Amino acid sequence: MDAQSAKRANTILGNDPNDAVLEMSIQGGIYRFDSPSFVCVSGASMKFTLNGILGESNCMIRVQPHDEIEFSQASEGVYTYLAVKGGFKSSIRMGSRSMHPSLFGVSRLKEGDVIEYTSTDTVSNTVVGKTSDVNLSSKMVVYPGPEFTCLKTPEQLGEVSLKVAGHNRMGIRVLPSTYFHRRHSTIKSSVVFPGIVQLTPSGELIVLHRDCQVTGGYPRVLLTDEKGLNQIAQMRQGSRIQFELTDLSNYLGE
Amino acid sequence: MGLKVHFHRISPEVLSIALEETSAAELSYVAEQLESRFSSIQDVVFLNGVITVFSTEINLILNELASFFDSMDETYESSFRTWYIPIWYNGLDLLFIAEKKGMSIDRIKEIHQKEEYTAIGYGFLPGFFYASGVPESIDLPRRSSPRARVPAQSVAFAAAQMAIYPFETSGGWNILGTTPYQFFDPNKNPPVIVKAGDRLRFYEIDESHFKALQLIWETSSDREKLLSHVC
């Protein structure tokens, strides 16, 4: 969900940025290592210990057989990442290790699950980690979407404080938007992707996220970029957010 | 010669291409051609006259894309298959549809089965295909608020489109019933059978027939054959 934090953890370990990481949402867990490797924690600040000793985020940590990392709860933000040297070798479906319920039947790990990784004793790179830069700002850049004209008063978009109302991997609901609601016009089902902001007939805005559907019938009134996606992913239910409407040409680089 | 198209850049990596006067089968064919000819295209989604291309190199291939459509020949052979889909009319909205339309449930079922539908493309969820051809006499818009839980394999329609939900999910379409067939199998390549342009016909089954067919489908090594006739 916060791809930037996931990539940071991988980069610090010298991994491919797209190597599989473990994602924790608010709640942590206990993870035991059966062979030596190196790990890195990044994303939402979450206290963790390695064999009882407090660990540090955004740096490389050596783990030995039988070591245990215990995470508590995130104190701020939503998604925390645990990366391992070489990436987790979980099973692949349709070219992805992402645990989408429609492909794997389940969407999360449960107690006792075992995930493979390659054991390693040595590490060649020396990338220095930097402190977490999870973006917790309440202002998020948005651009006009294909059905921008379905917004009643777009000029007031930047003046209203919106509330993050619901959170899952498909999308993040933002309220209230009834205020912006023009008489509802359904569109023919058309393409959507992470970053598209839909306006529903009941007047909610939904910021579509990483596991969103590929087509949808609600007007695509706005659009956010990778930075905005990472930012809103870390915003908890109940947080306030303000949209900053920016010209699309700034995004397209024209 | 050539196809008339309109380019619409939605984001740096997303380009929608609207085709004038096109069919689902043509769209599917053009989408396949695009994927095979342009290695820098990561994904293609097509539906309702629009092909959308995902690529990190759109700027570099814009001209090439334009010439691709200019040189595209309209005379390709379209072929389709007809699939027979069993449905147990146990849908949560059956009574609602009947009341809304002022018809008996039997009449709704009859109209639904009489019609032939055309698959027009995939979207929403893995294995979710849209089909056109819903008769106006039974058609309704999307529900005003989506249901939190639509059972897996529900046959539903809204706004002139018909679909089968491959999984349990939330959804706002009007549910007619359930099919014992599962139309998405991630362990198969390709994971789907129905192609854009294929025709679909529905036939009524009861609960015991549903259970029998469900078992047959799960263990069948030739699912295309099961779909090729009324079972």
pLDDT tens digits along A47-66: 999 999 999 999 999 999 99
CATH number assigned to the domain comprising residue B110: 2.40.100.10
Tell me the pLDDT band of B92, cut-offs 50, 70 and 90: very high
* Cβ contact, residue pair A191, B161, below 8 Å: no
Whichever domain contains B23, its CATH number is 3.30.1360.40
- Both B148 and B201 in a single domain? yes
User: Taking 80 as the threshold, does the pLDDT of residue A17 lie above it?
Assistant: yes
pLDDT at A230 over 90: yes
Note whether A146 and A244 are same-domain residues.
Answer: yes
Instruction: Over range B216-225, report the average pLDDT.
Output: 93
Q: Assign B76 a pLDDT band (cuts: 50, 70, 90).
A: low
Q: Are residues B64 and B107 in the same domain?
A: no
Dmax (CA) of chain A: 62
Domain stops at, among B37, B71, B105: B71
Residue of chain B minimizing CA distance to A223: B11
Tell me: pLDDT of B1 over 70. no
Query: A123 lies in a domain?
Result: no
Does the distance separating the beta carbons of B191 and A94 come in below 8 Å?
A: yes
Distance separating the N- and C-terminal Cα atoms of chain A: 28
Q: Which of A170-174, B19-23, B84-88, B126-130 has the highest mean pLDDT?
A: B84-88
Residue with tokens 């600040």: A45
* Same domain assignment for residues B189 and B89: yes
Instruction: For residue B15, give the nearest of B57, B52, B62, B46 by alpha carbon.
Output: B52
The answer as to whether A112 is a domain residue is: no
For residue A187, the chain B residue with the least C-alpha distance is: B159
Mean pLDDT within B130-138: 96
Predicted local confidence at residue B52, as pLDDT: 97
Which residues of B lie closer than 8 Å to A, measured between beta carbons? 8-12, 14, 16, 45, 47-48, 50, 52, 54, 122-127, 130, 141-142, 144-145, 159, 161, 166-167, 184, 186, 191
Q: Please report which confidence band the pLDDT of residue A160 belongs to, taking 50, 70 and 90 as the band edges.
A: confident
For residues B14 and B62, state if they share a domain.
yes
What range defines the domain where residue A198 resides?
A: 139-252
Whether B147 maps to a domain, the answer reads yes
Cβ contact, residue pair B16, A146, below 8 Å: yes
Verify that B27 and B137 share a domain, yes or no: no
CB atoms within 10 A of CB B37: 12
Pairing of strands A68-74, A27-32: antiparallel
Q: Check whether residue A96 and residue A157 sit in a common domain.
A: no
Backbone angles phi, psi at A191, to 5 degrees: -65, 140
For residue B190, say if its preceding peptide bond is cis, omega within 30 degrees of 0: yes
Verify that B66 and B86 share a domain, yes or no: no
Note whether B48 contacts A253, CB cutoff 8 Å: no
* Residue A158 near chain B (CB below 8 Å): no
**Structural domain ending residue among the three candidates A104, A126, A151:** A104
Phi, psi of A226 (to 5 degrees): -55, -40
| Prediction pTM value | 0.88
Which of B71, B102, B122 is a domain's end point? B71
Instruction: Compute the nearest-CA separation of B107 from chain A (Å).
Output: 28
Q: Among A45, A78, A104, where does a domain finish?
A: A104
Residue A180 inside a domain? The answer is: yes
Check whether residue B122 and residue B193 sit in a common domain.
Answer: yes
In this complex, the residue of A93, A102, A225 whose CB is nearest that of residue B125 is A102
Q: A193 — contact with chain B (CB < 8 Å)?
A: yes
Q: How many domains does chain A have?
A: 2
If one counts the domains in chain B, the total is 2
> Are B48 and A146 in contact (CB < 8 Å)?
no
B67, B91: one domain = no
In a domain, B14, yes or no: yes
Tell me: do B110 and B162 sit in the same domain: yes
Residue A27 has pLDDT above 60, yes or no: yes
A249 touches chain B (CB under 8 A): no
Question: Do A98 and A176 have their domain in common?
Answer: no
Do both B138 and B184 map to the same domain? yes
- Per DSSP (E only), the strands in chain B are 5-11, 14-19, 43-47, 50-54, 82-87, 117-122, 129-132, 147-150, 154-158, 161-164, 169-171, 174-178, 199-204
The verdict on A11 and A80 lying in the same domain is yes
Query: What is the residue range of B133's domain?
Result: 82-227
Which residue of chain A comes nearest to B159, CA vs CA? A188
Asked if residue B190 is part of any domain, the answer here is yes
CATH number at A81 reads 2.60.120
Does a structural domain hold residue A208? Answer: yes
Instruction: Give the residue on A whose Cα is nearest the Cα of B187.
Output: A93
Q: Answer yes or no: do A186 and B142 touch at CB < 8 A.
A: yes
Does ipTM exceed 0.90? Answer: no
| Chain B partners within 8 Å of A225 (Cβ) | 11
Whether residue B77 lies inside any domain: the answer is no
Task: Please give the interface size between A and B, counted as residue pairs whose CB atoms are below 8 Å apart.
Answer: 77
Among B8, B123, B145, whose Cβ lies nearest the Cβ of A189?
B123
Q: Are residues A78 and A155 in the same domain?
A: no
Quick check: B75 pLDDT over 80? no
Per-residue tokens: B104: 């008996």
Lowest mean pLDDT among A93-102, A140-149, B55-64, B173-182: A93-102
Which chain B residues have a beta carbon less than 8 Å from that of A191? 10, 14, 16, 45, 47, 50, 52, 123
Q: How far is the alpha carbon of B182 from chain A, nearest alpha carbon, in Å?
A: 12
CA atoms within 13 A on the CB side of B127: 25
Q: Is position B98 within any domain? A: yes
Give a yes or no: residue A164 inside a domain: yes
Residues A246 and A149 in one domain: yes
Q: Give Cβ neighbours of residue A172 (< 8 Å, ≥ 6 apart).
A: A164, A166, A206, A207, A209, A232, A233, A235
Q: Given a cut of 90, is residue A156 above it in pLDDT? A: no
A118, part of any domain: no
Q: Are residues B157 and B63 in the same domain?
A: no
Residues facing A191 on adjacent strands: A215
**Final residue of a structural domain among A104, A123, A150:** A104
Q: Is residue B76 part of a domain?
A: no
Establish if A110 belongs to a structural domain: no
- A100 shares a domain with A34: yes
Q: A217 vs B54: CB contact, 8 Å cut-off?
A: no
Instruction: Pick the last residue of a domain from B14, B46, B71.
Output: B71
Provide the pairing of β-strand A139-144 with A240-245: parallel
- Is residue A152 situated within a structural domain? yes
Q: With pLDDT > 70 as the criterion, what percentage of chain B qualifies?
A: 98
Does A223 share its domain with A147? Answer: yes
B173 in Cβ contact with B157 (< 8 Å): yes
In SS3 terms, A8-74 reads as: HHHHHCCCCCCCCCEEEECEEEEEECCCCEEEEEEECCEEEEECCEECCCCCCEEECCCCEEEEEEE
Per-residue confidence (pLDDT) for residue B169, from 0 to 100:
86
Do B65 and B88 lie in one domain? The reply is no
